Structure 1
Amino acid sequence: MENLFLKSKRMKRLRSIFNSALACSVGIAIVVAAVVPSTFADNSDSKNSESSATLYKASKVYTMDGDPLSPGQVLVIDGKIKAVAETVDLGGVEAESVDLGEGSVLMPGLVDAYSQTPLSSTGMDEITSEVTLDFQAIHSIDWDKNSLRRQLQAGTTTVNASPGTQNVLGGTAAVIKTMDHGDSVLVEDGAMLAAMCNDPASRNRSRSRPDTIYVRQPTNRMGVVWILRNTFSKAERSKDENAYAKLKQAVAADRPLMMVSRMSYDIETVGTLADEFGFKPIIVGGEEAYKVKEELVERDYPLVLKYDNPGTTQGAERSELCWNNPGILAEAGLTFAIAGDNLLEKARFARRFGLDADVALASITSTPAQIIGVSDRVGKIAAGYDADLIALSGEPLELTTSIRWVMVNGKTTTEKEN
C-alpha cells in the first residue's frame, strides 16, 4: 500500500511539472509570434505590405518598347508600374529603394499564348460532343496545380488557358495570371479554339455506321474538315442572334479564333476554310509552318509556335521539325509567339538556332500579349502596365543566367523558391 501511495504521489508531481512546462512553452511561442515577423508566411504580400511604392534599380531594363535602359529604374506603386527610366523622378513619392546589384536585369513577365497547364487533368475536353462552342476553360482551372506554380517560378506570369483539342471546336480560352488568384483573370471568355489536325479523330474508331449514337465523330481527317465546314455554314445561315454567337464573333474578328494545325497541309486547309467563310485565324502549333511560309506571308496569319527543344526530329502527328522554324518565319516577316513551359529556355534555343535576340525576347513577352489581346496590360515594362517583372542575374538569353525572383501584380516570389 505504501508503495502504491508513493507511486501515486510521484505521478502527480510529474504531471504538475509537465503542465508547467507546457504552459511555459505556449507562453514563449505566443511572445515569439508577436515579436518575430512571419518569415514563412505567403511571401506574395511580404514587400507590398511594408511599402506600397518601391523603386527597383537594375543594371539593365528590357522594356520591350525600344532599346533597353542601361542602367534602368522601375517605380512600382500598388501593383502597377508608375514610371520607368534610366533615373526615375520620384516627384515627392516616398518609395522603398531596392538595388538589384551589378549585372542585374529586369524584364517583363513572360506570356504563354497557348497552354493547357492550368486546367484540371479531367477538364480539358468535353467529349460528349464534337462541337462545344459554349465550353469555357475558366471553369476547369486548377488554381493549386503544381505545374502552374512551376510556370510562375520559370518566369511565366500570364497564361492563355485553352481547351484541349479532342473536340473540333472546343470552346473558349481564359487569360489568367499565375499568381495572386484574387485578381488574376484578365479575360474570362476569350479566344475560340478549333482543331484542324488529327487530334479530334485520333480516339475515334468506327466498327459500325459512324452516324449512329454509338460512334463519336469524326473518325478521320476528312471528318474534321466536314464538321468545321458544317458548323461554320450553320452559323452563317442562322438567323438566331443567340445561336452560334461566339463563333459568329470569331468570324467577324470580334473574338480571336485560334486553330491548332501542325502539318503543312493542315495549315493550307485552314487557309481554304478561311477564304470560304471569311475569318482570319491564329495558327497554333505550326511545327511545319516553315514549309508554307509564302502562303502564311500572303495571308498575314499570326502564329503561336509550340516550339520543342532540340533532341528529336519528329513532333506531334509525326511532323517534321525544323529547329530554326522561328528564325525562318522571322526572316519571312511573320508575327509569331513561342508557347509552352519554360519559355525563357525555349527562347534561348530559338536564338541558338538562328532567331534574332530581340525577336526571341518579343516572342515570349510583347508579341503573345498582342496576339491574345492583352497588350494594354502585360508584355512590356511601361507606365500604367501591371507590375509583372522578372529579376535576372544576367542577360536573359544566356544559358548561365538564373531567375532571382518573379513579380505578379507587384507581389514577388522569393529567390529561394526560384
Structure 2
Amino acid sequence: MKIWNATIHTMTDRGVIENGYVCIEDGKITAVESGRPAELAPEDIDAAGSLLLPGFIDAHTHLGIIENGIAFEGDDCNEATDPFTPHLRVIDGVNPLDRCFQEAREAGVTTVMTSPGSANTCGGAMAILKTAGRMVDRMCIGTGMKFALGENPKSVYNDRDETPITRMATAAIIREGLAKAQRYQQELDFAESDPDEHMPDYDAKSEALLPLLERDVKAHFHCHRADDICTAIRIAKEFNLDYVIVHGTEGYEIADILAEEEAPVIVGPTLCDRCKPEMQNLNLQNPKILQENGVQIALCTDHPVIPIQYLPTTAALAVKGGMSRENALRAITAGAAEILGVADRVGSIAAGMDADLQLYHGDPLDLLCDPWLVLIDGNAVVKR
C-alpha cells in the first residue's frame, strides 16, 4: 500500500517532504520518497495534500489500568499495601478494551507508556503499548520500572501510619531494594560459577529489578519538585541506572543541572490545576526552558489526569509557552520514542519503522482538528 500526495513530517533529518509518498508492506514502512509514485494500485490512498505524521506517543499514562468512568472495580493502578513492589506488572492490570484506547486512536495516539501509580516508592513494571489490540501481550513493545518520590508515597503511607512518611524514608526504601537486588545478582553469579555454592532462594522483587541493574530497562522516577528530581538523579547515579524524570514540574528551576546530568524529562500534566502542593509552581514555559537548556523532553497527559485525547492540546500549550510547533510535535513523536527507548520502531517516518501513521486536513495541534486516517502497523484503526 502507498499513501501519496502528502506533506510528510518525517520527524527525521529529512524534515518535511512537501509532496511525497510512503510505501507500506507487512505493517512496516518500506520507502519514503518525494514526488508521485510510478505506479498506483486501487488500495493506495490519495492524501490530497494532507499532513502525514507519525502516530503520536504519550510518554506517561495510566491508560487501561485506571478505567474511565469506573471507580474501585476498574482501578488497578496502586497496590498500596506494600511500599516497594517491583515484582508487579502493569500488563496484569490493563484492560485493552477500555473505551479510552479508542479515544486515543481517534486522536492519533498510537503508542503509550502505561504505568502503575505513584503510591509506592516502586510501583512495578510499566509497559509501552500500541493502542490497538485485544490482548496486552500482543500490543507491548517495551517496558520500564516505575519509582516515585515526594508527596505521593508520603501521603499514602502517612494516612496508614506506616513507612515511608518522609522523603528520607522514600529514598531509603528504594536504595534498600536496589542494594538487595545487587546482592541477589552476586549470589546468582557465585552459584553459577561455583558448583559448591547454593542458589539463593527465589526473590521476586530482586528478580524483577535485575534488568534495571543491567541497564536493559529504564527507571522512570515520578517527581515534581526540584529537590525530588535531584534525589532521583542521586539514586540513579549511585546504582548506574538508565533513568527518566517523569512530570518534572519544577524542572525549569534546575534546567542547567538537568542538562549537565543528561537527564531526560517527560513533562506533564500541564492542562490541569495546581492540584497538590508539589505542583504549586506549574508553569507552561517549563518545556521551552528545559529544551532551550539542552534537556531532552517529551510531553504527556498522565491519563486519566488529563484525558488522553488531549495529548495534541498539551503540545499546543507547550507552543503557547514558547516552544516551536515542530519541537512540540517532536515531543509527542520522535522525542518521546527516544526517551522511551523505542525510536527504532515508532515516532518517525522512515524505511524500517512501524507503519503507525496519521493524516490531517488541518492543523494537528488545533483542538477542533482530528486525523481523518490513523494506521497502526499498517492497519486502518480510524477512517473518517
Task: Name the TM-score, length of structure 1 as normaliser.
Answer: 0.78
1:333 aligns with 2:298: no
Any unmatched runs of 5+ in structure 2? 67-73, 189-201, 302-307
Partner of 1:255: 217
Q: Deviations over 1:209-247 (max 9, x none)?
A: xxxxx8542123222122112222322333333642332
Give the match for residue 47 of structure 1: none
Q: State which drifts further: 55-64 or 363-372.
A: 55-64
Aligned length: 352
1:318 maps to 279
Amino acid at match of 2:101: L
Change (3 A) 1:122 1:307: closer
**How far apart are residue 281 of structure 1 and its match?**
1.9
1:84 alignment counterpart: 32
- Shift of the 140–328 alpha-carbon distance from structure 1 to 2, 3 Å rule, reads same
Corresponding residue of 2:351: 383
- What do residues 84-120 of structure 1 show as CA deviations (whole Å, max 9, x unaligned)? 1113656x78562321224x11100011111102214
1:349 has 2:317 as partner: yes
> Cα offset for 1:292?
1.0
Q: Aligned residues: percent identity?
A: 30
Q: Which amino acid aligns with 1:113?
A: A
* 1:185 alignment partner in structure 2: 139
Paired residue type of 2:297: F
1:60 matches 2:44: no
Alpha-carbon contact 2:118-2:153 (below 8 Å) kept: yes
**Partner secondary structure for residue 253 of structure 1:** coil
Residues 287, 315 of structure 1: 8 Å contact kept:
no
> Which residue does the alignment assign to 1:396?
364
Structure-to-structure mapping, 1:26-37, within 5 angstroms: none
Q: TM-score, normalised by structure 2?
A: 0.84
Distance, in Å, in 1 between the alignment partners of 2:322 and 2:256 is 19
Could you say if the C-alpha distance between residues 312 and 252 of structure 1 is closer, same or farther in structure 2, counting changes exceeding 3 Å? same
Match for residue 245 of structure 1? 207
1-side partners of 2:238 and 2:357: how far apart?
43
Cα 1:265/1:181, change in 2 over 3 Å: same
In 1, the alpha carbon distance for the partners of 2:81 and 2:273 equals 35
**1:230 matches 2:176:** yes
Residue aligned with 1:134, SS: coil
Partner secondary structure for residue 127 of structure 1:
coil
Q: Is residue 61–residue 105 contact of structure 1 (8 Å, CA) maintained in 2?
A: yes
Amino acid at match of 2:341: G
Alignment of 1:116 with 2:78, yes or no, is no
Q: Is the 8 A contact 1:392 1:403 kept in 2?
A: yes
The structure number with the bigger radius of gyration is 1
Give, in whole Å, the separation in 2 of the partners of 1:122 and 1:400.
30
Equivalence for 2:94: 141
The AA in structure 1 aligned to 2:33 is A
Structure 2 letter corresponding to 1:283: I
Q: C-alpha distance in 2, partners of 1:301/1:254?
A: 17
Question: Which letter does structure 2 place at the counterpart of 1:152?
Answer: R
Q: Closer, same or farther in 2 for the Cα pair 1:174/1:221, shift >3 Å?
A: same
CA distance in 2, matches of 1:246, 1:414: 37
Is the CA contact (8 Å cut-off) linking 1:124 and 1:163 kept in structure 2? yes
Distance 1:151 1:308, change over 3 A: same
Change (3 A) 1:375 1:186: farther
**Is the Cα–Cα contact under 8 Å of residues 186 and 374 in structure 1 kept in the other structure?**
no
Give me the whole-angstrom Cα distance separating, in 2, the residues matched to 1:218 and 1:75.
Answer: 54
Is the deviation greater in 390-399 or in 159-168? Answer: 390-399
1:201 paired to 2:160: no
Match of 1:99 among 46, 52, 62: 46
Match of 1:128 among 53, 56, 81: 81
- Structure 2 distance, partners of 1:268, 1:373, is 22
Distance in 2 (alpha carbons) for counterparts of 1:77 and 1:95: 15
Cα distance in 2 for residues equivalent to 1:275 and 1:82: 40
- C-alpha deviation, 1:198, in angstroms: 1.6
The 8 Å contact of residues 191 and 258 in structure 1, kept in 2 or not, is answered as: yes
Moved over 6 A (4+): none
Task: Work out whether 1:303 is the aligned partner of 2:265.
Answer: yes
In 1, Cα distance between the equivalents of 2:133 and 2:377? Answer: 7
Q: Does 1:163 pair with 2:116?
A: yes
Q: Which residue of 1 aligns with 2:234?
A: 272
What amino acid is the match of 1:124?
A: C
Q: 1:27 — aligned with what?
A: none
- Quote the Cα distance in structure 2 between the aligned partners of 1:258 and 1:403: 30
Hey, what's the Cα distance between the residues in 1 that align with 2:3 and 2:128?
A: 27
Q: 1:235 to 1:180 in 2, by over 3 A?
A: closer
